[in-house]
Structure 1
Amino acid sequence: MAASIYSCSAILLALLASWVWVIDQNVPQPYLDEVFHIPQAQQYCAGHWRSWDPKITTPPGLYLSAAILSPILGCSTTVLRIENAVCLIVLFYGLRGLALRSRRLGDVEAVRQNASRSTASHIALNTVLFPPLFFFAALYYTDVASTLAVVTFLNCQRSSALLRHPQAFQAVFLFLLGLWTLIFRQTNIFWVAIFPAATVLVQELDTGHAVVKQSMHEGKSGFGDNWLSIVKTSYRMRVIYNPAIKRSQFEGEDPATHRLHMLT
């Protein structure tokens, strides 16, 4: 049902364009945490790489993206907000692709494939219209870009094209891509290392006794055999090196367990 993707895209574009216009017309100046994010992005756009606001608690991925695009688009408040809105549009298609891969379309009939494509489009639309996510799409916040980075990682991880490459290439590629997601938000470590590792564990346990029997005749895997272990260990080293773990004012910023934050 090709009409479904077009209708969902049209709905998203109409709602997002209206929301961006309303925000830009009524709130032309930086709003809420934009008073930190926008000036920091503009500092990077101006080439002031050593300038950093100590009140910012996220890595500089969002600002680096703005600096890369600034020679073409500029770095005004309106432009930065539009860039974030474009990220939401890309996120819609990324989520649709992720939903399709999760449904394993190659194993079902053509009619069911069309139904699944329609369902995937609606899942993606419902997700990007989730109020906290959609609200910040018209503001210059890290939420949308960070989510897009994670969805890109998960899509690549499940891509059949990646599986055609040697295992060593897959490990290096996913390792670098996982590190890339961390420059947008440090809590993405859950989605690029812990969550995939848990998924692999469940899949291996589901295979039953065959895996246990086979493992009796194989050597133990080393540190470099699993890219997930490399990402997690690299993150732990950062915690050890910098206990505050954030580019922010260190007092009151010590790392702590926040289980509910893993679900956001």
Structure 2
Amino acid sequence: MSSDTRILYLVYCGVAVAVLKEFNVVVTEPYMDEPFHVPQALAYCRAVLLHRVFMFKCNLALLRLTTTLTLFALPLVLTRLLGFHQRRRLPPKLAPSIEALVLSTFPIAWFFGFLYYTEVPSLVSVLCTVVAATQNKHWFAGLLGIVSCFFRQNNVIWVLYAYAASQLMRLRFKRGHGGLHDPPALGAGPGDFLRSITSAPKVLPELLPAFTPYAVILALFGGFVIWNGGIVLGDKSNHVPSFHVPQLYYFVAFAAMIGWPAVLCGEGGPSKIATEVILRMFGGKRRRLLTIMISIFMGITIQRFTIHHPFILSDNRHYTFYIWRRVFMLHAAVPYLFIPGYQACAWAWWVRVARDQSLLQTLILPVLILPTLLPTPLLEPRYFLVPYLLLRAQVVDVQPYGVVVEGLWYAMINMATTYVFLYKERAEVGRFMW
């Protein structure tokens, strides 16, 4: 099995190199956000000892290669993250699992792995932080967490996730953990959540020693925010924090549309997940009442907190421009028509993730998604990259045929988006991209 996956890994890397070469042949000048990143990187590259000693030629192709190299690392770290959630023995280091290879072709990660963007390096640094924490290497996780924050300042949230995920799994399987109430998620209710919160102080003495490295990161991050005058490093005018509640709904819908094989291809197949979602939304009077109350709340938040960002209204080089104009702006009622779908998608993911986890394990990711997505005013699929893969990694029972379907689905998306970007440039518009 290991030799087979090594061959697949080599194929994965070979295809990535071929795609990178085509990007460099066709897109010879920095594109979209690259003009903001490349000049600074080239200036630094020409100044460092690496260039002076080894005479590396600093150019756009080399910079894009550094991003693609992180794409090579993605299957290796995803294998360890999946192994943590699935509680399986890890394969040899250079033999990533087939599921990890499939997830490494996730369209957002794959596409931006060939441009000089920070998406994939940020993702890999976050996942490495989580993996190190799950292996109880907390000081190393803290160091990796600092690295991740250089790519994206809000990655500090995922540093906290790394700590929380590692500790909750440890407490779950440790006998005599001091009385933390953390029952299986599928059978839990609101009362269980309250009991979990009230019982948390009992285990704080046990949790605090491992938290020390992460406390150092929070202190350093707080100092940075004070020194910088805010979280954003760079163009603050176009990154003003907001209260964008519908962004959470867009994420859930995006996760369901792009990750439907993982949602539908679990034990029992599509019929089982559909039955469970229907029961949770309409199974009894209390459930129906809850669904109505949630729908009303969502309607109010859509009405009050939908943001028509200037970029999404003007930049017709992104798919979201057309989705926004041709779907959400088709009629004033359209955004509200998606409310039942948002709820169904959220319940579907909850059922899939909660099937093998405790209540707090299932809740920690949605809770930490809030401070990462709520302040972002622009509908941008790149913002969903880290949350999606952390969510998908928690689904432990995707059937083999489901992994194959997922791989084919990603491949179709990747071929289409790459083809359009490279070969369907429009003179007055430019290249279409995520």
TM-score by length of 1: 0.70
Kept in 1, the 8 Å contact 2:133–2:166? The answer is: no
Equivalent of 2:120, from 144, 147, 155? 144
Correspondence 1:1-264 to 2 at 5 A = 1-47=1-47, 69-71=50-52, 72=54, 73-106=56-89, 121-159=97-135, 171-197=138-164, 200-201=167-168, 203-204=170-171, 210-212=177-179, 226-256=212-242, 257-259=371-373, 261=383, 263=387
The percent identity for this pair of structures is 24
Provide the C-alpha distance between the structure 1 equivalents of 2:206 and 2:132, rounded to a whole number of angstroms: 27
Provide Cα deviations, 1:168-201, integer angstroms capped at 9, x if missing partner.
xx55443333212211211211221245325524
Provide the C-alpha distance between the structure 2 equivalents of 1:149 and 1:100, rounded to a whole number of angstroms: 18
The 3-state SS of whatever aligns with 2:97 is helix
Equivalent residue for 1:166?
A: none
Kept in 1, the 8 Å contact 2:71–2:120? The answer is: yes
TM-superposed CA distance for 1:242, in Å, is 2.9
Kept in 2, the 8 Å contact 1:45–1:70? The answer is: yes
TM-superposed CA distance for 1:2, in Å, is 1.7
Larger radius of gyration: 2
Greater alpha carbon shift after TM alignment, 179-188 vs 2-11: 2-11
Provide the C-alpha distance between the structure 2 equivalents of 1:189 and 1:182, rounded to a whole number of angstroms: 6
Q: Give the paired residue count.
A: 227
TM-score by length of 2: 0.45
Greater alpha carbon shift after TM alignment, 82-91 vs 246-255: 246-255
Q: Specify whether residues 258 and 90 from structure 1 end up closer, same or farther in structure 2 by C-alpha distance, changes over 3 A only.
A: closer
Task: Give unmatched runs, 5+ long, in structure 2.
Answer: 181-200, 243-370, 375-382, 389-434
Provide the C-alpha distance between the structure 2 equivalents of 1:93 and 1:68, rounded to a whole number of angstroms: 30
Provide the C-alpha distance between the structure 2 equivalents of 1:252 and 1:17, rounded to a whole number of angstroms: 34
> Aligned AA for 2:118?
T
Provide Cα deviations, 1:108-159, integer angstroms capped at 9, x if missing partner.
xxxxx77xx98x6112211221111111111111011111212222232233
Q: Specify whether residues 131 and 69 from structure 1 end up closer, same or farther in structure 2 by C-alpha distance, changes over 3 A only.
A: farther
Greater alpha carbon shift after TM alignment, 181-190 vs 232-241: 232-241
Provide Cα deviations, 1:41-94, integer angstroms capped at 9, x if missing partner.
0111233xxxxxxxxxxxxxxxxxxx5754543311111111211111122222
TM-superposed CA distance for 1:219, in Å, is 6.3
Kept in 2, the 8 Å contact 1:223–1:229? The answer is: no
Q: Specify whether residues 189 and 2 from structure 1 end up closer, same or farther in structure 2 by C-alpha distance, changes over 3 A only.
A: same
Provide the C-alpha distance between the structure 2 equivalents of 1:33 and 1:185, rounded to a whole number of angstroms: 15
Provide the C-alpha distance between the structure 2 equivalents of 1:146 and 1:31, rounded to a whole number of angstroms: 20
Q: Specify whether residues 86 and 220 from structure 1 end up closer, same or farther in structure 2 by C-alpha distance, changes over 3 A only.
A: closer
Equivalent residue for 1:55?
A: none
Provide Cα deviations, 1:3-33, integer angstroms capped at 9, x if missing partner.
3322321331232122112111111111111
